[in-house]
Amino acid sequence: MTLPLYAHNQAPGTKGKGANAGLWYNKFCHLWDRSWTLNENKLRWIETVTSTPVGDRELLTYKSKRLVEMISSLGGKTGSFVTKSRMVTGLGMEHPVENGFAWHSTLGVPYLPGSSVKGVVRSWVTQWERQRDSEVNRVFGPENEMKSVGSVIFFDALPLAPVRLEADVLTPHYGPYYHTGEEPADWHSPNPIPFLTVAVEQRFLFAIAPRRAGDAADCLLTWHWLRDAIFWIGAGAKTALGYGQFGLENENNANLDPI
């Protein structure tokens, strides 16, 4: 199949500076067989974005510094964190390889949406910190029919440098049970399904800010919750299996020097 792309906009390992790996991965799959399935080509397609780190270093540094400056002006908190296990983001999104992946639309790199970060921290606070409902509702906003914003703003977690990606695999053993409801049994063959992950030791910038000038104390408290949440329970998908755990590298304007 001939792709409708310019010569310098081919696979991430060969395309020129500034190319968007997320656009490539999501929109230009060309390994279909005659029945319009990928089958054994799923891993081949994933490997088109794992040969070299994705993202433009200069653009990521520029974006990160602008975010830090804005958060500083708002009286918020920023910190650079490093993945201590593989991370999965956007696994439930639709994609030809069956398991999706969340790409930043303009930067072409994996990221964690601010809403996901907020959800992780709220889950940590309600299940492990045992904070009062009034405090949780004030910080995150009440969960009821009349939803409203909380006292802390959560920003997208973005990479500080080009990101190294790796292929991983799910191996469901009871495919007929999941697809047709047939009773699970030992004679069913496993069905390996590859999926894309962020490798270990990849650096991400997390940021939060108070919504109003009087919310500075809530912001500081939430920052401590955030650090504990992504260290102990992780962020992204499959955290119950150990994915998505982070370690703190630096905070208070973060270490933005590229590595």
DSSP sequence for the chain: ---SS-GGGSSTTTS-TT--HHHHHHH------TTS--TTHHHHHHGGGTSS-BS-HHHHHHHHHHHHHHHHHHT-EEEEEEESS-B--STTS--TTSS---B-TTT-SB-B-HHHHHHHHHHHIIIII---HHHHHHHH---SSS----SEEEPPBEESS-B-EEEEEE--S-HHHHHH-PPP-TTSPP--EEEEEEPSS-EEEEEEEESSGGGHHHHHHHHHHHHHHHHHT-SSS-GGGTTT-EEEEEESS------
Contact 21, 109 (CB under 8 A): yes
> Domain 56-251 adopts which CATH fold?
Alpha-Beta Plaits (3.30.70)
**159 Cβ contact partners less than 8 Å away, ≥ 6 residues apart:** 55, 60, 107, 109, 110, 111, 202, 203, 204, 205
Put residue 39 in one of left, alpha, beta given phi > 0 → left and psi -120 to 50 → alpha.
left
Which pLDDT tens digit goes with each residue over 163-174? 999 999 877 666
Give the residue with greater pLDDT, 130 vs 125. 125
The predicted pLDDT at position 175 comes to 60
Assigned token pair, 137: 């509702």
* Lowest-pLDDT choice from 19-33, 60-74, 136-150: 136-150
The predicted pLDDT at position 258 comes to 44
**Residue 190 Cα distances to 39, 102, 108, angstroms:** 14, 27, 33
Average pLDDT over residues 59-64: 95
Whole-prediction pTM = 0.85
Domain locations along the chain: 56-251
The long-range contacts involving 92-95, CB below 8 angstroms and separated by at least 24 positions, are 92/237, 95/26
Assigned token pair, 31: 């390994």
Which pLDDT band, with edges at 50, 70 and 90, does 5 fall under?
Answer: low
Q: In terms of Cα–Cα distance, which of 142, 121, 124 is closest to 133?
A: 142
Residue 196 pLDDT greater than 50, yes or no: yes
